[in-house]
Structure 1
Amino acid sequence: MSETASLLLVMLLLQAGPAPGPGSNPSSVIQAVEQKYAGLKSLSASFSQSYQNAEQRLEESGTLVLKKPGRMYWEYHKPTTKHFLVDGKKSIFYVPEDKQAIVSEIDLDDASVPLLLLFGRTGIEQNFQVSWETEEAPRSAENALVRLTPREPQGEFTHVLLEVTPSALVHRLTVFDPIGSRNDYVFSDIRENANVPDRSFNLKLPKDVELIKE
């Protein structure tokens, strides 16, 4: 799964509503996710990312900000500086040491399920089957772990795990791809409706950066 697609998918599911209690079901958790996201104007958080396949394990970390309508910015700090920006019309993935930036236009009439969700164009349960996860346990026994399986085959991922804490936040989100790799995102220091100025989404590229349009 490409890093761009993975980051877009993660942002759709970052927030959760009230933590599941006795008698709750995975569908109610997802409904709370959508209600929570609909009520947000902005968000900031720290994240750590772990990518693992049969041959290697990679660790990264950074910060992210989100602001409606349709803007988000992931800034990786360790081990390599990277930038991923969505401004509502296009996405930019920039790695300074490569001196390259990948620019992709966003077309909501021909967008992937993740982008449609990001822009509030459809519901999660319309596109995913929702169930409790049974193959692995949550990292904390007090958390709930929900599996999202796409109703229509997706070439870049097979399913997603969403771990929700009792404090109504998403602690972990894991994306699995068809070749058996997994991408774990762990979130901390989440601030809902944080003060996120518009200038946070101004990514200035040096003149010597090669632009690759997709």
Structure 2
Amino acid sequence: MKLKFMRKCLLALALSAGAASQAFAGGLDEMHQFVSQVKSASGDFSQRQMKPVKGQVGALEPTGTSSGTFAFARPGKFVWLYQKPYQQLLQADGQTLYVYDKDLNQVTERPLGNALGASPAAILFGSNDLDKNFTVKDGGTKEGVDWVELVPKAQDTQFKRIGVGFKAGNLDSMELYDVFGNVTLLSFQNIQKNPAATADRFKFVVPKGADVIKG
């Protein structure tokens, strides 16, 4: 269950970086600058899972928290490492997605293909064709954060809508609303934009003795 949850959380999901905005003219401008100017990034993230409270319309309750680090180079290359409450790695080299569960010493491997598609991961790790996969609109400003709302155009996606928040020109947070009423809240810290990276930064090496499962 742990492996399945984490894989769904990023593959169906997502994660992070900062955008440079000269005038900070609102969330839409900052979003477009993010996808066009930030080709790679690294930083820290924290994640909270929320689920609907039975019998209470609109109410949510926490189901878990996690945190870790990330790095990406668009399109399709990333390292998303959960460090707490336990370690799990999601990594892609542009062609293949690897999910490594340290406790099980197990790697699940599958073609990346068009898996990013209209998922939240496409916002961070994909190309800059967000308008192709999402209906994008301004989400207003709340508590100093400029929001953009993205609704997937595909009918078979797991997510109903995605909120992306920018603050002072940097990506600050994401809110992921799935079709079951669950909400994933992501916040980002210590972001480095377009850092220098080695050629093998996103090359996955199977840990010694790990079982490999083709997904």
- Class of the TM-score when normalised by the shorter of the 2 chains: 0.7 to 0.9
Cα deviations by residue, 1:101-127 (Å, 9 ceiling, x for unpaired): 11111224x86334776442x621232
Q: Which residue of 1 aligns with 2:166?
A: 164
Please tell me whether the aligned partners of residues 6 and 175 of structure 1 are also in contact (alpha carbons under 8 angstroms).
no
User: What amino acid is aligned across from residue 112 of structure 1 in structure 2?
Assistant: G
Which of the residues 54, 65, 72 maps onto 2:71? 65
Q: Which residue of 1 aligns with 2:31?
A: 33
User: What amino acid is aligned across from residue 31 of structure 2 in structure 1?
Assistant: V
CA 1:34/1:2 → structure 2, altered by over 3 Å: closer, same or farther?
A: farther
Shift of 1:14: 4.3
Q: List, as ranges, runs of 4+ consecutive aligned residues in structure 1 with deviation greater than 6 Å.
A: none
Q: Which residue of 2 aligns with 1:7?
A: 10
Shift of 1:211: 1.6
Q: Which residue of 2 aligns with 1:205?
A: 206
Q: Which residue of 1 aligns with 2:191?
A: 190
Cα deviations by residue, 1:63-107 (Å, 9 ceiling, x for unpaired): 111124531101111110111101011000111102221111122
Aligned pairs for 1:109-128 (under 5 A) are 112-114=117-119, 118-120=125-127, 123-128=129-134
Which of the residues 93, 96, 102 maps onto 2:108? 102
CA 1:88/1:162 → structure 2, altered by over 3 Å: closer, same or farther?
A: same
CA 1:107/1:203 → structure 2, altered by over 3 Å: closer, same or farther?
A: closer
Please tell me whether the aligned partners of residues 118 and 152 of structure 2 are also in contact (alpha carbons under 8 angstroms).
no
User: What amino acid is aligned across from residue 176 of structure 1 in structure 2?
Assistant: Y
SS in 1 for 2:179: coil
Between structures 1 and 2, the one with greater strand share? 2
Cα deviations by residue, 1:154-207 (Å, 9 ceiling, x for unpaired): 431111011110x21111111111111111110000000113223432433334
**What is the total number of aligned residue pairs between the two structures?**
200
Say whether 1:89 aligns with 2:91.
Answer: no
Shift of 1:39: 2.7
SS in 2 for 1:7: helix
CA distance in structure 2 between the partners assigned to 1:87 and 1:34 by the alignment? 24
CA 1:151/1:145 → structure 2, altered by over 3 Å: closer, same or farther?
A: same
Aligned-residue identity in percent: 22
CA distance in structure 2 between the partners assigned to 1:103 and 1:125 by the alignment? 29
CA-based RMSD: 2.8
Say whether 1:152 aligns with 2:154.
Answer: yes
Shift of 1:20: 4.4
TM-score by length of 1: 0.79
Shift of 1:152: 2.6
CA distance in structure 1 between the partners assigned to 2:205 and 2:133 by the alignment? 36
Between structures 1 and 2, the one with greater helix share? 1
Q: Structure 1: give runs of 5+ residues left out of the alignment.
A: none
Please tell me whether the aligned partners of residues 66 and 85 of structure 2 are also in contact (alpha carbons under 8 angstroms).
yes
User: What amino acid is aligned across from residue 64 of structure 1 in structure 2?
Assistant: F
Say whether 1:42 aligns with 2:45.
Answer: no
